[in-house]
């Protein structure tokens, strides 16, 4: 969290005041929680527009553009699409892994009764969408059963962005529940990707990946907290996982679980050192001089930064450092390169829309009903409780919001239907329509509940 500085305490460059009038609103927008979801939406719309206004060839050329890394005779050459999906998306899964570890240790999944509600909701939000998909595919006479994992996913960025835009119409606890739900949901998605969408395992590479992971775990036990060591270990782990046949993004989750959670120094040390540092800074202060002229004060400020770093945990600090690049660059690139689809200009035959309908109903009804039903059962069985200020109607709204599966659904569909472009196009349409309708239904429910909150006969938080 960045500290705000009053205008009177600022030191401006000659042209900075005028520039701030333009840049401040942009910076505030970039730092808002809704920003990631909005940028994702714009990227997806841009891709769809390119494909449908006659620029499909240019769009495909961008996807197939080759980027190569070479050193002497060694070369690694892949398309931009491959580098994003199998390379940079590892960073997204790395942040996901950090969030999973944090939530399990001190977040929404750390308390048994709170975690039980979230886990029950996520279980329903995975099982029912998958079963809905399989049922519709079976009724439609299709054999594309491998896509059952597509409607299981939840796009955290989009869902949280909608909640943020709703403001006071959704209780603060709703965001915590939705985040925890999405985390457990993503755990399931990672397991699905790692087990069911892996064609062939290369045991030797998997063993080397295991040894690399063990080395990273040992670094954690030894108290090594330098980011460079874990970066090198993560890259090596990614390479061996990629060669093993398991999808490379799994390396991101595994590497994140090895990240240290303990700071270098205790809070008391931070308080004591900063207190002395502030006193020394005040004694060295000369009102007429700037910090550029006072090397002593500059050194004290640098020490303050070092003390702060030693007292913060790598799991939070590294996650915060990667959050903006991933959410504002990598995910939009992924959305742009994967969301492009040719919209039908006529009503297609049922046989050509089975996958679309299966994913659509899986995301909308499967998610909404599955999450709500499993939450209701957990509450009735008294193995879970609702947080203060949250009604069951909020849970229903959250359940439908979780049907916004855009990013993860696109990712899984690319794996499930690899080599079948027609099925991928059907899947994209189902994901787009399903996410849109689920988001609208969830939003309407939460707005309605905010106007007329109904009492519940279910156990509440103590």
Average pLDDT of 349-373?
Answer: 88
Both 251 and 371 in a single domain?
yes
Give the model's confidence band at 31: pLDDT under 50 very low, under 70 low, under 90 confident, else very high. low
Task: For residues 279 and 385, state if they share a domain.
Answer: no
Neighbours of 321 (CB within 10 A): 11
- Does a structural domain hold residue 275? yes
Residue 97 CA, chain-centre distance (Å), reads 9
Position 454 scores a pLDDT of 47
Task: Tell me if 49 is assigned to some domain.
Answer: yes
pLDDT single digits (tens) 388-433: 777 888 889 889 988 888 777 888 888 888 888 888 888 888 998 9
Least confident of 32-36, 63-67, 212-216, 430-434: 32-36
Residue 1 lies in a domain: no
Number of domains in the chain: 2
- 340 and 280, same structural domain? no
Q: Look up residue 156 and give its two tokens.
A: 């955290």
The percent of residues above 70 in pLDDT, for the chain, comes to 84
Helices (H), 197-221: 203-221
Q: What is the pLDDT of residue 372?
A: 92
Q: Contact at 8 Å (CB) between 125 and 284?
A: no
- How many Å separate Cα 380 from the centre of its chain? 31
409 occurs within a structural domain: yes
Q: Report the chain's mean pLDDT, rounded to a whole number.
A: 81
**CB neighbours of 237 closer than 8 A, spacing ≥ 6?**
209, 212, 213, 216, 251, 254, 255
- Interval 374-386 mean pLDDT: 87
N-term to C-term CA, the chain: 30
Q: Are residues 163 and 183 in the same domain?
A: yes
Residues 6+ apart with CB under 8 A from 108: 114, 115, 118, 176, 177, 179, 180, 183
**Which of 144-158, 162-176, 212-226, 321-335 is predicted least confidently?**
162-176
**Residue scoring higher pLDDT (311 or 99):** 311
Range of 30-44, 53-67, 204-218, 242-256 with top mean pLDDT: 204-218
DSSP 364-425: IIIHHHHHHHHHHHHHHTTS--BPTT--HHHHHHHHHHTT--HHHHHHHHHHHTTT-HHHHH
Same domain, yes or no, for 318 and 305? no
> CATH number for the domain including 126?
1.20.1530.10
**What are the pLDDT digits (tens) for 60-91?**
888 888 888 877 777 778 888 888 878 888 88
Global pTM reads 0.74
* CB-based contact 393:380 (threshold 8 Å): no
Same domain, 297 and 401: no
253-262, 343-352, 375-384, 392-401: range with lowest mean pLDDT: 343-352
Is 343 in the same domain as 440?
yes
My answer on whether 381 and 306 are in the same domain is no
Domain-embedded: residue 239: no
109 and 151 assigned to the same domain: yes
CA 315/CA 182 separation, integer angstroms: 19
Domain extent, residue 294, equals 267-311
Asked if 339 and 401 sit in the same domain, the reply is yes
Q: How far apart are CA 96 and CA 102, in angstroms?
A: 10
Residue-level pLDDT at 168: 65
The 10s digit of each residue's pLDDT in 93-137 is 888 788 878 877 877 667 776 678 888 998 999 999 999 999 999
Residue 447 pLDDT greater than 70, yes or no? yes
Q: What percent of the chain has pLDDT over 90?
A: 15
Specify if 430 maps to a domain. yes
Query: Same domain, yes or no, for 49 and 189?
Result: yes
The verdict on residue 94 lying in a domain is: yes
Question: What is residue 9's DSSP assignment?
Answer: G
Reading the block at residue 412, the tokens are 């899984």
Higher pLDDT, 141 or 5: 141
In a domain, 379, yes or no: yes
**What's the CA gap between 404 and 415, in Å, rounded?**
19
| 285, 412: one domain | no
How far is the C-alpha of 55 from the C-alpha of 147, rounded, in Å?
A: 28
Predicted confidence band of residue 160 (pLDDT cuts 50, 70, 90): confident
Q: What is the dihedral of CA 161, 166, 167, 168, to 10 degrees?
A: -140
């Amino acid at each position: 969290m960045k500290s705000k500085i009053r205008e009177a305490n600022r030191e401006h460059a000659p042209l900075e005041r005028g520039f701030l009038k333009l840049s401040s609103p942009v910076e505030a927008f970039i730092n808002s929680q809704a920003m990631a979801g909005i940028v994702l939406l714009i990227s997806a719309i841009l891709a769809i527009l390119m494909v449908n206004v006659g620029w499909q060839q240019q769009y495909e050329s961008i996807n197939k553009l080759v980027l190569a890394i070479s050193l002497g005779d060694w070369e690694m050459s892949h398309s931009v699409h491959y580098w994003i999906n199998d390379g940079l998306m590892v960073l997204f899964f790395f942040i996901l892994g950090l969030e999973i570890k944090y939530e399990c240790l001190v977040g929404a999944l750390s308390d048994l009764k709170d975690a039980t509600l979230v886990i029950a909701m996520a279980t329903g939000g995975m099982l029912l969408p998958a079963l809905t998909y399989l049922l519709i595919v079976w009724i439609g006479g299709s054999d594309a059963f491998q896509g059952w994992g597509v409607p299981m996913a939840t796009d955290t960025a989009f869902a949280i962005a909608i909640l943020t835009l709703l403001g006071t119409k959704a209780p603060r606890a709703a965001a915590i529940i939705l985040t925890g739900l999405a985390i457990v949901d993503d755990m399931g998605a990672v397991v699905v990707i790692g087990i069911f969408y892996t064609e062939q395992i290369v045991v030797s590479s998997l063993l080397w990946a295991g040894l690399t992971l063990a080395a990273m775990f040992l670094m954690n036990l030894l108290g090594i907290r330098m980011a460079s060591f874990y970066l090198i270990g993560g890259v090596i782990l990614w390479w061996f996982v990629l060669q093993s046949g398991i999808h490379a993004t799994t390396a991101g989750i595994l590497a994140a679980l090895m990240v240290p959670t303990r700071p270098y120094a205790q809070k008391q040390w931070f308080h004591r050192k900063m207190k002395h540092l502030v006193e020394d800074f005040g004694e060295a202060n000369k009102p007429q001089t700037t910090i550029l002229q006072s090397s002593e004060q500059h050194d004290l400020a640098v020490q303050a930064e070092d003390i702060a770093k030693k007292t913060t945990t790598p799991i939070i600090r590294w996650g915060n450092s990667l959050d903006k690049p991933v959410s504002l660059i990598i995910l939009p690139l992924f959305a742009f390169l994967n969301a492009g689809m040719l919209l039908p200009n006529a009503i297609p035959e049922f046989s050509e829309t089975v996958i679309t309908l299966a994913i659509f109903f899986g995301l909308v009804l499967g998610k909404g009903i599955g999450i709500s039903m499993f939450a209701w059962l957990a509450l009735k069985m008294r193995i879970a409780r609702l947080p203060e200020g949250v009604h069951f109607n909020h849970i229903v709204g959250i359940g439908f919001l979780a049907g916004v599966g855009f990013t993860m659904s696109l990712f899984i569909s690319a794996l499930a239907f690899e080599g079948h472009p027609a099925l991928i196009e059907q899947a994209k349409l189902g994901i787009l329509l399903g996410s849109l309708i689920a988001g609208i239904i969830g939003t309407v429910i939460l707005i309605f509940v905010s106007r007329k909150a109904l009492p519940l006969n279910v156990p509440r938080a103590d």
